[in-house]
Amino acid sequence: MHTASDHGQHLSGLAAGPGKRPYIHRRTARWQRGRWRITKWRKRAMWPTQRRALTQANCFHVTSEKELDDVRRLGFSNRVAIIHNGIDLPALGQHIKNPAAPRRLLFLGRVHRLKPLDRLLESWKLLQAKFPDWELTIAGEDDGAISPN
């Protein structure tokens, strides 16, 4: 069983059970150090149940050394598999269909206050004059960072 939800992993852990089916948990962004400040009362209320289920996981799936650090910082000693997000890149130059079209720098991800988009914008402001044929595109779900609900 492979789960990536922090809301339902306690159910997955119970369903897998000790000595039953293998149970792999995908570490999520909620485990980042800064995320505990957001709705911390909910996280702290659910943490004892979640922690119990997560200690039963046969393995944690993380995508980077930083995520591994988050797992260890929270006190888990379970096995961890670091499996990077893989992408296939086309050969350099093959993707350019119209050389006259502006080039694009793309931020693709959830827009959240914990993601340092302010740094991206500050950096872009410095680079924009040097690279006038480039555009910055920010694409992704707004998690209240731009337009609070």
Q: pLDDT tens digit string along 69-94?
A: 988 988 899 999 998 877 776 666 66
Helix and strand numbers (H, E) in the chain are: 4, 6
How much is the pLDDT for 133? Answer: 86
- What pLDDT score was predicted for residue 50? 78
> Could you report the average pLDDT of every consecutive run of 10 residues in the chain (149 residues)?
56 58 68 62 72 82 88 90 78 67 83 80 91 88 64
Both tokens of 57, joined, read 């996981």
Which candidate, 103, 95, 17, 27, places its Cα nearest to that of 52? 17
- Could you give the 3-state DSSP secondary structure of residue 106? strand
- The pLDDT of residue 26 is 74
Half-sphere exposure of 86 (CA within 13 A, CB side): 3
Backbone angles phi, psi at 100, to 5 degrees: -80, -15
pTM exceeds 0.85 for this model: no
Identify the pLDDT of residue 13: 56
Q: In terms of C-beta density within 10 A (0-12 exposed, 13-18 middle, 19 or more buried), how is residue 60 classed?
A: buried
- Report pLDDT for 96: 64
By CB atoms closer than 10 A (0-12, 13-18, 19+), residue 113 is middle
**Domain residues of the chain, as ranges?**
2-82, 88-149
In this predicted structure, what is the pLDDT of residue 25? 72
